[in-house]
Amino acid sequence: MPSRVTYRRFSPFQGDVASWALGIGLGLTVAMQLTTMRKSDIDTLYAAIGSLSRLAALVGTYFALVGIFMIARIPWVEKSIGHDRLVVWHRKLGPWSLYLIGSHVLFITVSYAGFSQISLVSQFWQILNDFGWMWFALAGFFLMIFAGITSYKKARATMSYETWWILHVFTYGAMAASFMHQIVNGQMFIGHPLNRAYWIALYVAMAFCVIWWRIVKPAVLSIRHRLVIDKVVKEGPGVYSIIFKGRRLRELGAEGGQFFNWRFNTKGHRLLAHPYSLSAAPTDEYMRISVKNLGDHSRATEYLRVGTKVWFEGPYGAFTAGRTKSKRAVLIGGGVGITPIRALLDEFKDSASVDVIFRAPREEDLILREELDYIASKSHGTVRMHYMAGPRKNFPMDAPFLGSLIPDIADAEIYICGPIALIETVVAAAKELGVPASRVHHEEFVYHAE
């Protein structure tokens, strides 16, 4: 078997450094309050409630900042931790941020109302008017609540990606609107230039990361690489491949398994970028994605014209061949989730023994089948295809099923992309079969969107 490793090795080191930095930041944030608190801040019940509410505000805001850093596409964090995991953490952290900030709003009012012995409502009204920038802070809080509610699983399911995205982007506005009320009124900031400097630095760093990595860099790359739609090909029911042509694409360093956010320069599509994985390893001139009619936007890809200018952000994601430690790989794709698997196969085919499992509800959903078969036939037996079209009960994808299909699965590196149900089943099966969690990599194609 020829061994030609073309992909970059994956290293968790930078992710560990980032985690540690996150911890130090949290420590410094809590220290800001602890070092500026006096006896009068804890010696009465209402003072203690006020102090707790300030702590909640600090930690909640810190979590919100960290949440934004997580999805700011900082390259070394992306490469080391992986975009899907970052998004999962971002989603887990978000609600806590909202709960903590919400309790700050409530308990600071309780504390002041207790001091003044007036009703909560009139106290709330007075706080809004008596302190600087409070109306902005309230507006920011509402924006944050909207973003939170719309990201809640059940609410998220009722709206289009577009609506959700716009509401979610308002979180940046929320961060900006609530900033001044902290700096101007915050007990830990008044007369304390060092605390103020630290807090401002955090916000500046956040703004820099977002502006640089989510706006400036993608714009520069899009201009430099001049990507246009070269071809649109129908692959199966509702599935289209879009082939992009550009120049010097190798400089992007994209690998199979990664994705870009694509923004088509057509009427009605300029505002929103959409995440799609590459469905083949990129060449210096061409990149390809394969898209199913999922959202409002992907339905419209049918009408995309050849020659349309494309703006892109990326490459993102750590669903890459570089995470492999063994020469044995099992790639599992569910439905249109086969696209990054197909691209990964380009990376793996010359350096590892690969089994590809392709799950789909119907025969006609087995898209890209011809080229998958072609790769397998040219691989001298190192790539084996397993097509499984039909109802779930025929192909349970559980431990006995996978174990009998691929007896040496315990030695393999497993990559899964597909609907969440498939991922959960396979992850559980892999655990049962003795595959360590560090060797199971998965990407939910519905979620690399934030």
Partner 1 sequence: MKKTLLIATGTIGGLGAVLSVTPPQLGQTNVIALGNQGVDTQAAPVQESAQPTPQSTATTKASTPKAAKTVAATPIPKQSTAASTSGSINGKFTGTSVDIKYGFLQVQITVTNGKITDAQAVKTPDARNDRWTLKAVPVLRAQTIAVNGNTLDNVSGASYTSYGWYTSLTSAMVKAGLL
Residues that bind partner 1 (CB under 8 A): 15-16, 19-28, 30-31, 34-42, 47, 50, 112, 115-116, 126, 129-130, 132, 184-185, 187, 190-193
Nearest residue (CB) to partner 1, 130 versus 363: 130
Helix, strand or coil for residue 239? Answer: strand
Nearest residue (CB) to partner 1, 66 versus 227: 66
| Residues with Cβ within 8 Å of residue 184, at least 6 apart in sequence | 131, 132, 133
Residue pair 51/41 in contact (Cβ under 8 Å)? The answer is yes
- Minimum CB separation of residue 20 from partner 1 in Å reads 4
Nearest residue (CB) to partner 1, 50 versus 218: 50
- Minimum CB separation of residue 37 from partner 1 in Å reads 6
- Minimum CB separation of residue 112 from partner 1 in Å reads 6
**b/e 329-352 (16+ beta carbons within 10 angstroms → b):** bbbbbbbbbbbbbbbbbbbbbebb
Nearest residue (CB) to partner 1, 180 versus 410: 180
- Minimum CB separation of residue 23 from partner 1 in Å reads 2
Nearest residue (CB) to partner 1, 114 versus 173: 114
Nearest residue (CB) to partner 1, 25 versus 419: 25
| Residue among 202, 139, 195 at smallest CA distance from 171 | 139
- Minimum CB separation of residue 40 from partner 1 in Å reads 5
- Minimum CB separation of residue 108 from partner 1 in Å reads 10
Angle, in degrees to the nearest 10, between helices 120-130 and 83-116:
110
Nearest residue (CB) to partner 1, 42 versus 306: 42
Residue pair 435/409 in contact (Cβ under 8 Å)? The answer is yes
What are 309's two structure tokens?
């200018």
Nearest residue (CB) to partner 1, 131 versus 203: 131
* Residue 230: its H or E element: strand 228-236
Helix, strand or coil for residue 132? Answer: coil
| Residue among 189, 205, 206 at smallest CA distance from 57 | 189
H helix intervals, 242-354:
296-300, 338-348
Burial class (CB in 10 A: 0-12, 13-18, 19+), 166: middle
- Minimum CB separation of residue 41 from partner 1 in Å reads 6
CB atoms within 10 A of CB 441: 25
- Minimum CB separation of residue 186 from partner 1 in Å reads 9
